[in-house]
Structure 1
Amino acid sequence: MTDGRVTRGRRTREAIVEATIALLREDGAAAVTHRAVAARAGTSLAATTYHFATLDDLLVVAFELLTDRMVEEVERLAELVLSGRMDLVEAAITFVEEVDADEDFVADGMIELAYGAIRNERLRKPTQRLVDHMGEPFAELIGGESARVLIRALNGMLLHHRAAGPDASTGELRSDVAVLFEHFGLTTAVRHRLEEES
């Protein structure tokens, strides 16, 4: 009996976190309330507040899960780039465009996390963790600090692209990303890596 209760509790908690991510994706952090999350998760308000007493608790867990997903996606794309199966700029554009996929919440997730961290000190640690981990695949190519600065610059670029609205030119973003990667020496470093391995 206890195992069943634990399993149900875990499922409810997971549903609450996924509902929070869905609300973040659709309407941003301002849309996340206990009541809205409970309605979206199909659970009671009491269950939502039982699992997450404060919205801060809920946002931290949701953003930590988002961070894990974004890092996994960066690692997947970096592996494709470093094995020569995908162009570096194309990988970055793929990462950005996945924000519109049904279940993914990539570029906008970074933006929401960064905005949240401005006002919420508890979100600063997941924000820094995201930047650090997203830069890791490229740290050995251009150095750890350069990789982190590159990721911060890319995040700013994505923010401006998303702020331009749904009609924003992917061609302009592609051009900007190419210049950014070239400026940081990442394009050359990837090319040298591929030449060494061939």
Structure 2
Amino acid sequence: MTSPAAVRGREVRQKLLAAAVELIPERGWTAVSTRILADRAGVTPSVVHYHFPSLQALLIEAVTGAMRQVLAESGTFFETARTPADAIGGMLASVDQYSGADPMSLLFIEAYLASTRDERLREEIAGLVDGFRQRLSRWLDERGEPAPEATAAVLAAVIDGLVLHRGLGAGVDTGAAAAVLRKLVTDPTQEGK
């Protein structure tokens, strides 16, 4: 049985993580302070350091948790797509929900930028990207794609790039991008024709 204090502690941690996910896109990574974060979460600043070794550790946990969730949700194409071409369509359709200026896009952009100055954050994000690429590579390999690892690396980079470009106002139509990317993968319906 979990004690009431442990339950409250988990709830406070979740409030702090949720506040960080809100504040990073609003203010930028470096403008999130312990005081601002605590105020948003509705707790005292001392609680932040009770639950996390540092503000940076809290921000990293918040961002990587949000990234994990987005990757898990966007990976539904693994369950529904029959062919690599179908998967590309599903992956790019998932990009359409991000304008490049929405909170989740800004969260990712801020995290990528901050990772250039923080080795732990860089390693955490790199691990998430690598995990997604490995999962995609295995999926492509199971469907007979001749270069699954390289194809997965290119597709993951394209997804990131499309969101980053949208943030710059230089977005590419995902339908046009899908047509180009489908040429990268084997179409089993065209084999032997």
Normalising by structure 2, report the TM-score: 0.76
Q: 1:76 to 1:109 in 2, by over 3 A?
A: farther
1:3-40 CA distances to partner (integer Å, 9 max, x unpaired)? 11111111101110111011123333133211111111
Cα distance in structure 2, aligned partners of 1:122 and 1:156: 22
Paired residues for 1:1-198 under 5 Å: 3-82=3-82, 88-89=88-89, 91-98=91-98, 105=104, 107-140=105-138, 141=140, 142-164=147-169, 172-175=172-175, 177-178=177-178, 181-182=181-182, 185=184, 188-189=185-186, 191-192=187-188
- Identity value in percent: 25
Equivalent residues, number: 181
Secondary structure of the corresponding residue to residue 24 of structure 2 = helix
- Distance in 2 (alpha carbons) for counterparts of 1:110 and 1:82: 29
Cα deviation, residue 109, structure 1: 3.6
Residue 64 of structure 1 and its aligned partner are, at CA, apart by 2.2
Q: Which of 1 and 2 has higher RCO (CA within 8 Å, sep 6+)?
A: 2
Partner-residue secondary structure (3-state), 2:155: helix
Q: Specify every segment of 5 or more residues in structure 1 that has no aligned partner in the other structure, as ranges.
A: none
The equivalent residue for 2:144 is none
Structure with greater helix percent: 1
1:119 counterpart SS class: coil
Partner Cα separation in structure 2 for residue 195 and residue 52 of structure 1: 54
User: Does the 8 Å CA contact 2:95/2:163 hold for their aligned counterparts?
Assistant: no
Inter-partner Cα distance in structure 2 for 1:83 and 1:143 = 13
Q: Is the 8 A contact 1:117 1:123 kept in 2?
A: yes
Shift of 1:81: 3.0
Distance 2:96 2:134 in 1: 18
TM-score normalized with structure 1 length: 0.75
